[in-house]
A and B are shown apart, each in its own frame.
Chain A
């Protein structure tokens, strides 16, 4: 059990890298699409809705395969400079995970934007605050605070999602556990140890979010 620990930990590092980078890009994508969703233009609105519907309605595995195997099939992408990115399974995984978590994040932020009390915005308007400043200084901070608990869940869901990277040859925690299983024929040791590490990461994320909620959480 102890002998398999170092290899699993090196996998856990990859898992965390995948998680952090996809959460980072996902947050940006989510924010953009949340803003598009509350846009009044029906075309922009529908586009953003379609995006989140597709990525929330299909399994992450399909999205991962579409990007990893599917994009490589397009001739002009293969000849363009994008090939440098999409030939690497690592970047494909990050693209798929970012787009996926971006869809969920956009929904979380959208519902947060929509539940902001109208009074705040009206108050800002009557005080003569410009629309831009209302958005950046009032709507955005409240929305972020309000969506903290749901976003915490999303981070944990994404942590579980990163385990799919192992099916496209990335040696993350799951991939290392699979390797150990194949080499030693001890499925219980390999997978249960990996499970404990996953639980440990979940536990840490959970507590960080709890702390942030306490510190910055929105009290009504």
Chain B
């Protein structure tokens, strides 16, 4: 227990901040994922063949390739790509992309693919009559989307989004390979310097369990709140 004390002698405060970092990365990744999902869901549902293929490629490739691969690609390739783009604009210095941004982006791309599938399923399960009714009433397409489809879609997708959140939360442990100090990285450092890996990885496991447990409780509350009246 002494190892977990706060202050200079223990790892308590380091692990606490690492936990906050994990939460921050997960939320950032989830938000980025939503942006990707909102772009690719319409593509997957569109009647245009080309757009359809683009949407399908995104979800199939990202879900068929290891998460670690996406992270490495962005981590090792991202710097090169950024420097290449910068060199076009006449900047030749070294650019280093922040580990937080690369990590959040990589996990975001992955969670976006899962969110896309969730949103697609939710939209497909909305009664067709509602689309037709709003069309008959002369409601404009984007108002139809924002006022009728989106609210229902979000409600229907909460249970599945909670799964996506769990996957995202666990995937953030992979960012540790790029050196971002979150739970996994911090336990790795602590285990290395105290030579007690069993203890620190157990602590990491408990922290992750706590996070998943608490977020499940929270999401269940949200679910109850938003399914009122149904």
Contacts and interface: CB of A to CB of B under 8 A. Distances in A.
B111 to A, nearest CB: 14
**Listed residue (B73, B174, B195) with the most chain A CB atoms within 10 angstroms of its CB:** B73
B197 A58 contact: no
Contacts of A57: 166, 208-209, 212-213
A211 interface: no
A177 B66 CA distance: 12
Given A61-B174, A167-B177, A181-B72, A54 B205 contact: yes
Contacts of A177: 69, 72
Interface in B135-173: 166, 170-171, 173
A188 B69 contact: no
Contacts of B76: 181, 187, 191
A34 interface: no
A70 B77 contact: no
Contact of A61 (B176, B197, B209, B213): B176
B64 interface: yes
B12 interface: no
Contacts of A103: none
Interface string A23-58: 000000000000000000000000000000110011
Nearest to B216: A57
**Listed residue (B69, B76, B166) with the most chain A CB atoms within 10 angstroms of its CB:** B69
A202 B64 CA distance: 6
Interface in B174-189: 174, 176-177, 184, 187-188
A166 B212 contact: no
Interface string B116-144: 00000000000000000000000000000
A119 to B, nearest CB: 29
A74 B73 contact: no
Nearest to B198: A70
B69 A163 contact: yes
Contact of A65 (B68, B188, B212): B188
**Listed residue (A53, A63, A194) with the most chain B CB atoms within 10 angstroms of its CB:** A194
A57 B214 CA distance: 11
B191 interface: yes
Interface in B44-98: 60-61, 63-69, 72-73, 76-77, 80
B64 A187 contact: no
A172 to B, nearest CB: 10
Contacts of B80: 187-188
A166 to B, nearest CB: 7
**Listed residue (A62, A162, A177) with the most chain B CB atoms within 10 angstroms of its CB:** A62
B66 A198 contact: yes
Contacts of B213: 57
**Listed residue (B170, B204, B205) with the most chain A CB atoms within 10 angstroms of its CB:** B205
A166 B198 CA distance: 20
A174 B201 contact: no
B92 to A, nearest CB: 18
Contact of B66 (A58, A69, A72, A174): A174
Contacts of B220: none
A85 interface: no
Contacts of A73: 195-198
Contact of A62 (B63, B64, B77, B204): B204
A198 B201 contact: no
Contacts of B68: 163-164, 166-167, 174
A70 B67 CA distance: 24
B201 A62 contact: yes
A61 B184 contact: yes
B173 A62 contact: yes
4 shortest interchain CB distances as A-B pairs: A163-B66, A187-B76, A69-B197, A59-B173
Given A61-B176, A191-B69, 11 more contacts: A57-B212, A69-B201, A74-B198, A159-B66, A160-B65, A163-B69, A167-B177, A174-B69, A187-B73, A191-B76, A198-B65
